[in-house]
Amino acid sequence: MTGMGVGAMRRAGILILLGFSACSSGADNKAVATEQSKGPPPMPAPETISSRPNAGPGERLYLDKCAMCHGPAGMGTGLLTRRMEQPLLEKRTDLTSEFVMQAARMGIGNMPAIPRGEASDVELKQIADYLSAEKESGQ
C-alpha cells in the first residue's frame, strides 16, 4: 500500500495534466484550459484494451503491457514529463524499435526490467515496432 490520499491523487492529476499542456498539441491545451476554468481537472482514466476496440496487434499489446505506466496518468508518463518534452511513448517520434526493446528488457532509470514471462520477445518486438512506426500527421 502506498497510502496516497485522494487530495494528493487529485493534485498529482492536476500537475500531470499541466505538464502535458506545456508540450502537447493545441487541441489538448484548449481542453486543459477549459477544465481549469471549471476547477481542478480530473485525472484521466486509464487506457485499456476495451478503450480502443479497433487497435491493431502492436497497439493492443501496448495497451495490455505498457499503458498502465505509459498511459496519461501512469508512473512512466509522470517521470518522463520531468525529462522529455513529449512524455507519451505513443506520440514520440524519436523511438527506434531497438531502443524500446532494450529499455523494456533491461529496465531504464526507474523503469524495472520486463521479464520474458510478462512480454515474450515476439510480443515485445510488435510493441517496439508499433511505438517506433512513423506517426501519422497531427500526432
Partner 1 sequence: MQPLDPAIAAAARQAFAAIVGVDHVFFNEEDQLSYQDKFAVDDALHHPAGAVAPATVEEIRAILKVARERKLPLWPISRGKNLGYGGSAPLLAGSVILDLSRMRKIDYDEANGTVLLEPGVSFYDLYDFLKSKGMKHWLSVPGNSWGSVLGNALDRGVGYTPYGEHTTKICGIEAVMADGMVVRTGMGALDGAPTWQLYKFGFGPSWDQMFVQSNFGIVTKMGLWLMPAPESLMGMDIEFERPEDLGPLVDALAPLRREGLLQQSPTIGNWLRAAATLTTRGEWTDKPGALSDEVIAAIRKKFNVGWWGVSLRLYGREDMNKAAYAVLEREMGKLKPMSLRPTTWKTGEPIEATGWTGTPLTFPMQNANWHGGRGGHIGFSPILPQSGKAALAQFQRTYACYKEFGMDYQASFAFGERHLINVNAVLLDKDDPAMMKRVDPFLKRLIADAKAQGYGEYRTHLDYMDAVADTYDFNGGALAKLNRTVKDALDPQGIIAPGKSGIWPTSMMGAKA
Binding site for partner 1 (CB under 8 A): 1-13, 15-16, 42-46, 48-50, 67-69, 73-76, 78-79, 82, 105-107, 109-110, 112-118, 120
Are the CB atoms for 41 and 32 separated by under 8 Å? yes
What minimum distance in Å lies between the beta carbon of 131 and partner 1?
Answer: 18
Q: Given the complex with partner 1, which of 121 and 133 has the nearer CB atom?
A: 121
Q: Could you give the angle at the alpha carbon of 14 between the alpha carbons of 53 and 130, nearest 5°?
A: 35
Taken in order 101, 105, 108, 113, the sign of the CA dihedral is positive
Cα radius of gyration (the chain):
16
Q: Given the complex with partner 1, which of 58 and 71 has the nearer CB atom?
A: 71
What minimum distance in Å lies between the beta carbon of 35 and partner 1?
Answer: 11
